[in-house]
């Protein structure tokens, strides 16, 4: 199988056509037409074998995941995903692996109506880089920098599940229906595309949670130039994670575990009732965990006492 056959068979065939793709896979570069009055938003994320996923990760999940993590980055800017390119480095062209990978990739892309418009395929250590393109109405994008003192801090879904799921994948934990759900959360992240879109012009700042809630919220706060007061008891923790780790350890995992791809955002208290109405249309919850403060640090409180976050030094301040 040469490079051309591989692209034709596994990637070009699966593409969902979009009217705004004037020239897709098959030429030297892609040509697309931008919607009127919209800004282009671009995100690029790589998954490298051994660094971002263990060897036993199934090809289907890798395909799904490399698209999903980029959709999550676009969501965090309140952007509508449109197109993507895929740069794939493979040790060898294994037909079964490619078939499963492409299936997972297109499943994730279809979920957000994204068209694959190009890429590159080379021989080398297993890695994949997706660059996703999206758009947002002029002036309605959300960055990490807009949080203000008194803004409420929210996080979608539940946090910590994916970190526990990684342990299940590494077979540090036995199989069970509950642990399977955690594993699924690691292998198949649900990028919060609809929530991200609907928060355009509503959230004052936003970030997706890929490195862990405490870390990523720290980046948002640092970019905005503020700190926060947060309540441990408010953390959205799943039943599955509680069962997996017990109540105490679950809190630590929820604070520091990565790969959840939830959205963490801030909104002005004036917009809370608007948010409540929006959340009714989401397939995930949004939980208020605290408030932006003038202190230059994120302080987690438990029963009125300060809680020191365990794990790697918090270096953002």
Applying CB under 6 A, the site for ligand ADP has a residue count of: 13
Nearest to 205 by CA among 228, 231, 224, 229: 224
Q: How far is the CB of 116 from ligand ADP (least distance, A)?
A: 5
Per CB under 5 A, does 27 bind Mg ion? no
Nearest to 120 by CA among 91, 88, 92: 88
For ligand ADP, give the closer residue by CB, 7 or 217. Answer: 7
Per CB under 6 A, does 5 bind ligand ADP? no
**Where does the chain have alpha helices with state H?**
3-6, 59-75, 95-111, 161-169, 177-187, 193-198, 213-224, 239-245, 247-256, 272-279
Per CB under 6 A, does 27 bind ligand ADP? yes
Distance (Å, whole) CA 213 – CA 194 = 20
Distance (Å, whole) CA 131 – CA 46 = 9
Per CB under 5 A, does 30 bind Mg ion? no
Residue 116 interacting partner from ligand ADP, Mg ion, none (CB closer than 5 to 8 Å by kind): ligand ADP
Q: What is the dihedral angle through the alpha carbons of 98, 102, 105, 106, rounded to the nearest 10 degrees?
A: 180
Nearest to 88 by CA among 63, 113, 107: 63
Per CB under 6 A, does 201 bind ligand ADP? no
Per CB under 5 A, does 28 bind Mg ion? yes
Q: How far is the CB of 2 from ligand ADP (least distance, A)?
A: 10
Q: In what order do the strands lie in the sheet with 227-231?
A: 205-209, 262-267, 152-156, 286-293, 227-231, 298-302, 305-307
Region of 213 on the Ramachandran plot (φ > 0 left; ψ -120 to 50 alpha; else beta): alpha
For ligand ADP, give the closer residue by CB, 92 or 305. Answer: 92
For Mg ion, give the closer residue by CB, 30 or 76. Answer: 30
Residue 50 interacting partner from Mg ion, ligand ADP, none (CB closer than 5 to 8 Å by kind): none
Distance (Å, whole) CA 63 – CA 127 = 11
For Mg ion, give the closer residue by CB, 28 or 36. Answer: 28
Tokens at residue 193, please?
Answer: 């595309």
For ligand ADP, give the closer residue by CB, 3 or 113. Answer: 3
For ligand ADP, give the closer residue by CB, 38 or 121. Answer: 121
Q: How far is the CB of 297 from ligand ADP (least distance, A)?
A: 44
Residue 11 interacting partner from Mg ion, ligand ADP, none (CB closer than 5 to 8 Å by kind): ligand ADP
For Mg ion, give the closer residue by CB, 119 or 290. Answer: 119
Residue 264 interacting partner from Mg ion, ligand ADP, none (CB closer than 5 to 8 Å by kind): none
Per CB under 6 A, does 28 bind ligand ADP? yes
CA-to-CA separations, 202 to 99, 125, 283, in angstroms, rounded: 41, 42, 19
Distance (Å, whole) CA 128 – CA 107 = 16
**Residues in region 86-145 near ligand ADP by CB under 6 A:** 86, 88, 116, 118-121
Which among 27-35, 52-60, 93-101, 161-169 is the span making contact with Mg ion, rule CB under 5 A?
27-35
Q: Which helix (H) or strand (E) holds 207?
A: strand 205-209
For tokens 């080379």, name the residue: 122
**List of residues contacting Mg ion (CB under 5 A):** 28
**List of residues contacting ligand ADP (CB under 6 A):** 7, 11, 25-28, 86, 88, 116, 118-121
């Amino acid at each position: 199988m040469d490079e051309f056959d591989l692209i034709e068979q596994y990637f070009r065939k699966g593409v969902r056509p979009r009217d705004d793709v004037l020239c897709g896979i098959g030429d030297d570069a892609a040509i697309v037409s931008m919607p009127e009055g919209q800004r282009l938003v671009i995100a690029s994320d790589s998954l490298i074998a051994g660094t971002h996923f263990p060897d036993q990760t199934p090809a289907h999940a890798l395909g799904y995941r490399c698209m999903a993590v980029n959709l999550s980055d676009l969501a965090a800017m309140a952007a509508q995903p449109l197109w993507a390119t895929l740069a794939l480095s493979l040790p060898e062209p294994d037909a079964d692996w490619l078939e499963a990978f492409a299936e997972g990739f297109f499943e994730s892309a279809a979920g957000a109506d994204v068209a694959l418009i190009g890429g590159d395929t080379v021989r080398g250590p297993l890695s994949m880089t997706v660059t996703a393109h999206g758009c947002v109405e002029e002036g309605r994008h959300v960055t990490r920098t807009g949080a203000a003192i008194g803004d409420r801090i929210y996080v979608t879904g539940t946090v910590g599940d994916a970190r526990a799921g990684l342990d299940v994948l590494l077979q540090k934990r036995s199989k069970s229906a509950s642990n399977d759900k955690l594993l699924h959360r690691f292998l198949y992240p649900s990028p919060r595309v609809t929530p991200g879109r609907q928060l355009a012009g509503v959230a004052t700042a936003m970030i997706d949670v890929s490195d862990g809630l405490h870390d990523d919220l720290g980046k948002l706060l640092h970019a905005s130039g503020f700190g926060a007061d947060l309540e441990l008891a408010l953390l959205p923790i799943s039943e599955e994670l509680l069962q997996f780790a017990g109540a105490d350890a679950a809190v630590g995992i929820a604070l520091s575990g990565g790969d959840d791809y939830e959205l963490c955002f801030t909104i002005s208290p004036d917009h809370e009732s608007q948010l409540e109405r929006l959340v009714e249309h989401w397939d995930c919850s949004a939980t208020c965990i605290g408030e932006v403060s003038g202190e230059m640090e994120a302080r987690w409180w438990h029963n009125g006492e300060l809680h020191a976050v365990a794990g790697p030094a918090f270096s953002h301040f």
